[in-house]
Amino acid sequence: MKVYPLKFDSLFKEKVWGGENMARVLGKRLPPGARIGESWEVSGYGDDVSIVANGPYRGMGLGRMEADFGEALIGTDVPRGRFPLLFKFVDAADRLSVQVHPDDAYARRREHGASGKTEAWVIVDAQPGARLVRGLEPGVDAETFRQAIEKGRLDGILHWIEVSPGDVVFVPAGQVHAIGRGILLYEVQQSSDITYRVYDWGRPRPLHIEKALEVTHYDQLPDLVEGLQVEEAGGTKTVLVNCPYFVVGRLDVRSSMEDQCDGRSFHVLSVLDGHGEIGWGSHQTMPIERGESLLLPAQLGAYKVSGNVVVIRTWVPSND
User: Which residues are annotated as catalytic?
Assistant: 197
Radius of gyration (C-alpha) of the chain in whole angstroms: 19
CA quadruple 217, 218, 224, 226: dihedral sign:
negative
Task: In whole angstroms, give the CA distance from residue 256 to residue 213.
Answer: 48
The amino acid occupying position 222 is P
Instruction: Report how far residue 103's alpha carbon sits from residue 161's, in angstroms, rounded to the nearest whole number.
Output: 24
Which residues face 168 on adjacent strands?
A: 122
Distance CA 21, CA 92 (A): 9
Cβ atoms within 10 Å of 12's Cβ, excluding its own:
19
Question: Which residues share a beta bridge with 53?
Answer: none
Transcribe 80-126 into DSSP letters: SSS--EEEEEEEESSPPPEEE---HHHHHHHTTT-----EEEEEEEE
Q: Are 239 and 312 in contact (CB under 8 A)?
A: no
Residue 145 CA to residue 154 CA, distance in Å, equals 8
